[in-house]
C-alpha cells in the first residue's frame, strides 16, 4: 500500500518536471507549445549519448541534459517561436506539432527507433526495506529528491527574487509590465529556456521509468496536457498538485484494477474538470 503510494509520488514528481515548462509557456506566455515533449526527448538522448558513447557518469549527464535542451530552447524561441506569439492558437498548434514530427524523424534517423536502455550506477539501483509492506526504490527516492529541490528552488526564485517579481508582473499584465520598463521578451526567453531545460532533465531522469524512443513526444503529450489542464496553467502549485494526483492515481489504478488501469487518469481528469473547469488551482477565466 505505502509502496504503491511512494511509486505514485515518484511518477508524479517526474510528470511535474516534464510538464512544468509547458505550464509556463501556456500559462505565462499564452503559447500552445505541443513540442514541449521534444525537448524532454532531447534531454533523454543527450544523457544516453553521454552515458553510452562517452562513459560519462549519470550524475554528470544530468546538467548536460538540462543545459543542451535549454540552449536549443533559446535558439528556437528567438528564431521561430517568437514569430508566433501573437498568432492564433491554431497556427501555434500546427507549427509546434510540425516541430514534434521533425524531432521524431531526427531522433529516429540519428538514434534508431529502438528503446534506449541505460544501466544505473549501483548506488541508485535496488530497494531498501523500511517495514513490512513498505519498500522504497532508491532511484525513485532520488527522483523525488531532485524534483522536490527543484520545486522549492523555483518557488524561491518566483516569490523572493527580483526576477520572480518581474516575471509575475509580466504574467499578470505584460503590457503594463512593459510600460514599467520590464524587458518582457528577455524574461520570456529565459523562462522558455528554463522550461525546456527542466523538460530535458526530466527526460533524462525518466529514461529508466518511461522508456525513451522516438515516439516519446507524442506518447507523453497527453500526459503533459492533462497535467496542465487539471493543474491550471501558469502557477507552480497547480501542476505540482495535478502531477501528484495523476501519478498516484495512475500507479494505484494499474496496481489495484489493472484491467482498466490505463484509463484511470483520464477518468480523474474528466471528473476534476467537471468539478473545477478552471483546473485545481487555476484562476477563473475573466478575459
Q: What x/- string results for residues 221 through 260 when contact with another protein is judged by CB under 8 A?
A: -----------------------------xxx-xx--xx-
Q: Nearer Cβ to another protein, position 12 or 279?
A: 12
DSSP E strand stretches across the chain:
127-131, 134-137
Does 79 interact with another protein (rule: CB under 8 A)?
Answer: no
Options 53-61, 117-125, 159-167, 190-198: segment touching another protein (CB under 8 A): 117-125
What secondary structure letter does DSSP report for 128?
E
Q: Which is nearer to another protein, 81 or 223 (CB)?
A: 223
Among 3, 30, 155, 278, binds another protein (CB under 8 A): 3
For 198, other C-beta atoms within 10 Å of its C-beta total 28
In angstroms, rounded to a whole number, what is the distance separating the alpha carbons of residues 195 and 39? 9
User: Measured from the CB of residue 113, what is the shortest distance to another protein in angstroms?
Assistant: 4
User: From the list 2, 5, 91, 115, which residue makes contact with another protein (rule: CB under 8 A)?
Assistant: 115
Rounded CA separation 241/13 (Å): 10
Phi, psi of 24 (to 5 degrees): -65, -50
219 touches another protein (CB under 8 A): yes
Which three three-digit cell numbers place residue 75?
A: 535558439
Nearer to another protein by C-beta: 77 or 250? 250
- In order of 19, 28, 179, 216, the CA distances from 239 in angstroms are 7, 13, 30, 20
Given a contact cutoff of 8 angstroms between Cβ atoms, the answer to whether 18 and 200 are in contact is no
Nearer to another protein, 89 or 126 (CB): 126
- Interface of this chain with another protein, residues 165 to 194, rule: CB under 8 A: none
Going by C-beta distance under 8 Å and a sequence separation of 6 or more, which residues neighbour residue 27?
171, 228, 232, 233, 234, 235
Please state the closest distance from residue 61 (CB atom) to another protein, in A.
Answer: 17
Residues that bind another protein (CB under 8 A): 3-4, 7, 11, 108, 112-115, 117, 119, 125-127, 135, 137, 139, 208-211, 213, 215, 219-220, 250-252, 254-255, 258-259, 261-262
Amino acid at each position: 500500500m505505502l509502496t504503491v503510494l511512494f511509486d505514485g509520488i515518484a511518477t508524479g514528481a517526474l510528470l511535474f518536471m516534464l510538464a512544468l515548462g509547458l505550464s509556463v509557456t501556456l500559462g505565462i506566455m499564452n503559447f500552445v507549445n505541443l513540442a514541449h515533449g521534444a525537448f524532454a526527448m532531447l534531454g533523454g538522448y543527450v544523457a544516453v549519448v553521454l552515458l553510452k558513447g562517452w562513459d560519462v557518469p549519470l550524475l554528470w549527464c544530468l546538467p548536460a541534459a538540462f543545459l543542451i535542451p535549454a540552449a536549443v530552447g533559446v535558439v528556437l524561441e528567438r528564431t521561430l517561436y517568437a514569430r508566433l506569439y501573437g498568432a492564433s492558437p491554431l497556427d501555434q498548434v500546427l507549427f509546434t506539432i510540425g516541430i514534434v514530427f521533425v524531432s521524431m524523424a531526427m531522433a529516429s534517423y540519428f538514434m534508431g527507433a529502438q528503446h534506449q536502455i541505460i544501466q544505473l550506477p549501483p548506488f541508485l539501483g535496488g530497494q531498501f526495506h523500511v517495514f513490512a509492506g513498505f519498500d522504497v526504490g532508491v532511484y525513485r527516492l532520488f527522483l523525488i529528491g531532485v524534483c522536490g529541490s527543484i520545486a522549492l528552488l523555483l518557488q524561491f526564485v518566483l516569490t523572493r527574487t527580483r526576477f520572480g517579481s518581474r516575471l509575475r508582473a509580466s504574467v499578470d499584465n505584460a503590457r503594463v509590465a512593459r510600460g514599467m520598463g520590464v524587458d518582457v521578451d528577455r524574461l520570456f526567453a529565459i523562462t522558455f529556456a528554463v522550461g525546456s531545460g527542466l523538460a530535458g532533465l526530466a527526460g533524462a531522469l525518466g529514461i529508466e521509468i518511461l522508456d525513451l524512443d522516438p515516439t516519446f513526444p507524442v506518447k507523453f503529450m497527453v500526459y503533459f496536457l492533462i497535467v496542465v489542464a487539471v493543474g491550471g496553467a501558469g502557477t507552480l502549485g497547480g501542476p505540482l498538485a495535478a502531477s501528484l494526483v495523476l501519478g498516484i492515481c495512475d500507479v494505484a489504478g494499474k496496481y489495484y484494477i489493472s484491467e482498466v488501469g490505463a484509463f484511470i487518469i483520464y477518468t480523474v481528469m474528466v471528473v476534476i474538470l467537471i468539478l473545477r473547469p478552471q483546473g485545481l488551482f487555476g484562476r477563473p477565466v475573466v478575459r
